[in-house]
């Protein structure tokens, strides 16, 4: 993993315009609503390290932090149209970041509880698919279909990464080389898929007919 210090984040990116630094958040927001890229870059630079640091301090994990930072920014920009200026943009973005982290931590706890609650019997060796009854075969087929649906709802590269890891049994490094993506991005993607499948398993493992 890259050594991580704060220096690089403090440098001025080539895409930000120093002439906009004097603008308030609200003025930048007006520019973004007019699709001004310089305004967008200035706001992104102003908040990226702040949000990343805030999230990382709580999660202590870069892969998880990337996931949550992306969710936070996505929520911010999806909701910009409805921001009315009743609060400061700073407060509003902080509220979104806090909600996103709290929701993620809650989801993580719930997933952990689900894993703990799985009946050990379910983890014991199962009979071959050729020897199980038609009902169980149907259930397995439905479960496989639900996993396929999940994979199809992801970006193509994310489902490819999942299959490389869990079907081809490639290492993270091998996947990085094959996809030209960072290990953090790979781990983050695997985490996202795993979370989807774990959440789905609570449904998939329910007794048939319930």
* Interacting residues with another protein between 108 and 137 (CB under 8 A): none
Q: Is the dihedral of CA 164, 167, 171, 172 positive or negative?
A: positive
Q: Per CB under 8 A, does 194 bind another protein?
A: no
Q: CA–CA separation, 161 vs 191, rounded Å?
A: 11
Report in angstroms how near the CB of residue 169 gets to another protein at its nearest: 25
CB 165 within 8 A of CB 190: yes
- Contact letters for another protein, residues 162-191 (x by CB under 8 A): -------------------xx-xx------
- Contact letters for another protein, residues 62-101 (x by CB under 8 A): x--xx--xxxxxxx-xxxxx-xxxxx--xxx-xxxxxxx-
- Contact letters for another protein, residues 28-67 (x by CB under 8 A): ----xxxx-x--xx--x---xxxxxxx-xx----x--xx-
Angle 60-65-70 from CA coordinates, rounded to 5°: 170
Please give the backbone phi and psi of residue 42, each rounded to the nearest 5 degrees, phi first: -65, -45
């Amino acid at each position: 993993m890259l050594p991580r210090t704060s220096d690089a984040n403090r440098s001025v990116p080539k895409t930000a315009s120093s002439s906009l630094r004097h603008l308030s958040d609200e003025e930048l927001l007006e520019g973004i609503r007019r699709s001004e890229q310089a305004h967008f870059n200035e706001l992104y630079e102003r908040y990226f390290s702040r949000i990343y640091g805030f999230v990382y301090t709580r999660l202590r994990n870069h892969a998880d932090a990337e996931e949550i930072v992306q969710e936070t920014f996505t929520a911010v920009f999806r909701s910009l149209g409805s921001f009315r200026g009743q609060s400061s943009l700073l407060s509003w973005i902080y509220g979104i970041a806090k909600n996103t982290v709290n929701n993620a931590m809650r989801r993580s706890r719930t997933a952990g509880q689900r894993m703990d609650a799985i009946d050990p019997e379910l983890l014991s060796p199962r009979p071959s698919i050729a020897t199980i009854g038609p009902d169980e075969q149907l259930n397995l087929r439905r479960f496989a279909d639900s996993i396929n649906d999940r994979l199809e709802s992801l970006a193509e590269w994310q489902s490819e990464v999942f299959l490389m890891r869990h079907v081809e049994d490639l290492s993270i490094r091998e996947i990085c080389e094959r996809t030209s993506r960072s290990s953090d991005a790979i781990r983050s993607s695997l985490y996202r898929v795993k979370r989807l499948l774990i959440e789905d398993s609570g449904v998939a493992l329910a007794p048939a007919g319930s």
